[in-house]
């Protein structure tokens, strides 16, 4: 009887161990960086911006990303927010870029826009989440500095 109970307990322990081993670990969130800010045009007290986000995968396996939700502040003021669904699969230990657009009130980012005439970078904060295929949501955030690129209609993009 004791032997039967020990066998049952051992079988349960083996079953529990195998079921835990088959559960994939939660992935580490991507490392997000604001790579570029481009002012496309200024009209009617609004600035049309494009932002390039880089997402780096710190995991040893690829991440299939369904969407990215994000918020960006420039010089401490809201600059853009949104959601994108055009994200490449993030390769294991690799990265991908996403271009997103925003339209902001010039007053909200006036100090950041004034740096267009200087060579000073603009402080930014980027936060959001990556939703993976399967519904796992991975939050990310980062602060840094970014040079602003201005669009010159005749000459194309020019770093500032």
Question: Could you state, in order of their start, the residue ranges of all structural domains in the chain?
Answer: 27-151
How is residue 103 written in tokens?
């339209």
Q: Rounded CA gap, 45 and 104, in Å? A: 9
Predicted pLDDT at 18: 47
- Compute, in degrees rounded to 10, the torsion defined by CA atoms 90, 135, 34, 56: -30
Reported as a single tens digit per residue, the pLDDT across 74-88 is 878 887 888 886 677
State percent of the chain over pLDDT 70.
68
CATH architecture under which domain 27-151 falls: Sandwich (2.60)
Entry pTM: 0.69
CB neighbours of residue 65 within 10 Å: 23
Reported as a single tens digit per residue, the pLDDT across 127-150 is 999 999 989 999 999 999 987 664
Confidence of residue 104 (pLDDT cuts 50, 70, 90): confident
């Amino acid at each position: 009887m004791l032997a039967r109970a020990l066998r049952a307990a051992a079988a349960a322990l083996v079953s529990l161990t195998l079921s835990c081993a088959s559960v994939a670990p939660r992935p580490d969130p991507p490392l997000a960086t604001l790579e570029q800010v481009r002012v496309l045009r200024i009209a009617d007290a609004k600035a049309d911006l494009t932002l390039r986000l880089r997402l780096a995968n710190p995991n040893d396996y690829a991440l299939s990303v369904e969407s990215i939700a994000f918020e960006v502040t420039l010089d401490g003021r809201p600059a853009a927010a949104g959601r994108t669904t055009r994200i490449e699969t993030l390769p294991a230990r690799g990265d991908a870029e996403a271009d997103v657009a925003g339209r902001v009130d010039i007053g909200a980012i006036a100090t950041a826009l004034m740096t267009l005439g200087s060579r000073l970078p603009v402080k930014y904060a980027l936060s959001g989440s990556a939703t993976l295929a399967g519904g796992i949501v991975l939050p990310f955030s980062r602060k840094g500095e970014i040079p602003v690129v201005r669009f010159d209609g005749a000459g194309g993009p020019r770093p500032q």
